[in-house]
């Protein structure tokens, strides 16, 4: 199913991104439910702090910041991801609330990428050592049966 068809069909996987502008927008996804090492339910949670700080540091119109309840990376808590349509997606863990600037810098670097990959050179250290997964774009498998 093509992206436009999926939107028209009300596919919940793409519905949230249907309002996204151009295909070159990078989305920073922050796990807002990430807790600290003690596991306390105290609010704001470190994930919420990271999301707010990332939003505050982002002034680029080609980068947006979204929150999700859980990225399922609890053992390497304080998790975030960088996504870009048609490109590889990156999941990071072991982040600190102070990593907001790194996420924004990484997103801006990703935005300038022409090959769909987040360049290693210039990537903030927290996004080098915190890499959990690199996920291929779904279009890579589109024509395979």
Helices 46-57 and 100-112 meet at what angle, rounded to 10? Answer: 50
**Would you say residue 18 lies in a domain?**
no
Q: Which domain holds residue 118?
A: 23-139
Residue 71 covered by a domain: yes
14 in any annotated domain: no
The confidence band for 142, taking pLDDT boundaries of 50, 70 and 90, is confident
User: Comparing C-alpha atoms, which of 90, 93, 91 is closest to residue 76?
Assistant: 93
Q: What is the pLDDT of residue 17?
A: 40
pLDDT score for 135:
97
- The pLDDT of residue 41 is 86
Q: Are strands 80-83 and 63-68 parallel, antiparallel or unpaired?
A: unpaired
Q: What is the mean pLDDT of residues 58-80?
A: 94
Secondary structure of 103-119 as H, E, C letters = HHHHHHHHHHCCCCCCC
DSSP character for 30? Answer: E
- 44 inside domain: yes
Between the two ends of the chain, the Cα-to-Cα distance in Å is 14
Q: From the centroid of its chain, how far is CA 21?
A: 17
More confident residue, 138 or 13: 138
Structural domain total, the chain: 1
The tens digit of pLDDT for each residue in 109-137 reads 999 999 999 999 999 999 999 999 999 99
Q: Which residue has the higher pLDDT, 8 or 78?
A: 78
SS3 108: helix
Q: In the prediction, which pLDDT does 6 show?
A: 39
The domain spanning residue 130 has which CATH number? 3.40.30.10
Indicate the range of 10-19, 99-108, 129-138 predicted with least confidence: 10-19
């Amino acid at each position: 199913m093509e992206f436009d068809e999926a939107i028209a069909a009300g596919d919940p996987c793409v519905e949230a991104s249907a309002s996204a502008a151009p295909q070159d927008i990078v989305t920073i996804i922050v796990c807002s439910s990430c807790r600290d090492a003690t596991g306390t339910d105290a609010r704001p949670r470190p994930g919420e702090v990271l999301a707010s700080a990332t939003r505050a540091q982002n002034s680029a119109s080609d980068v947006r910041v979204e929150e999700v309840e859980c990225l399922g990376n609890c053992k390497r808590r304080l998790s975030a991801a960088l996504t870009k349509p048609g490109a590889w997606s990156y999941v990071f863990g072991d982040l600190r609330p102070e990593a907001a600037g790194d996420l924004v810098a990484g997103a801006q670097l990703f935005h300038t990428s022409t090959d769909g990959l987040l360049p290693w050179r210039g990537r903030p250290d927290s996004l080098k050592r915190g890499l959990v997964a690199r996920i291929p774009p779904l279009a890579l498998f589109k024509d395979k049966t």
